[in-house]
Structure 1
């Protein structure tokens, strides 16, 4: 069976095992644990002591880790695939999680879904940006030859981190012949055209 919160795939086998572990908790403790897991996803302070108190009825530490991992997967994957809370609840019930537990999970998910998605966008792949470009074309003239050789293009790039306030600048200098420069220019123009299509 395919599940939207798993990206349209089957639920992983390990998650099915952890659903049973989550079912052993009270719905109130599960809601509090969900809040702690969301704090962890958002890189906010999480308290291991609170987590151990909430999971005191679980048999051992591996059950605690499994429960936290399962909730982390469910919450982050649901936000990643932009699944509506009621659909997440229905799908978790299909996996065997009791209805009151699903409702306890859905409340904090509904409140923090946009914050989780914003955090994922913030942490997605960011490349350095080009702050400044300098270039120069040189013709090399041989001492024992009268003809002018092919030009060499020298490029200097100042790169910064993607964040607006970044002060870290990295300077890169290199030189290429005119044929490679034409290829580079062509590739950059193609990339620019592709980017315009997706804007």
Structure 2
């Protein structure tokens, strides 16, 4: 007599489908792509191949294009993260201009995309230029909010000084780029706090 148990034995063990990772995986993939893009843009400039970004993030190109349909979208995501950190540093209770300039300098040494942001005329295409201009304005407002009375730079001079320093940030390693940025700040006579990202 054949019963359901015997049939189940012949059918073999049930195959369990892996759980759908859903939004958590999507968020992880997006974060990995932004981190990989920042690294590759820092190493090779904003024209680094998007295929290389996907490989470094450990995802397929299809995943990259689901999150970022083109290079402009990916560069914009990297820039947004740079600028948001500076705004968060500006909103901290103990925020000072030297401390903020230390955060700005860290991003300059870390991110070619951020350097491009401070020279909005270099951005490729009107859409990215317009977006860069908006983000650059947010950086300047964050810095200007902590410009002490009687500082040797006024708001317009500070904007120019940041652009001038960013133009010096070249070199094969982050350490060399940071060294050059700090040397430029010293030549301008501007105090800069510890060079570090904002956060724990």
TM range (shorter): under 0.3
What TM-score, normalized to structure 2?
0.27
TM-score, normalization by structure 1 = 0.27
Bigger RCO of structures 1 and 2 (CA < 8 A, at least 6 apart): 2
- Greater helix fraction, Structure 1 or Structure 2: 2
Is the radius of gyration larger for structure 1 or structure 2?
1
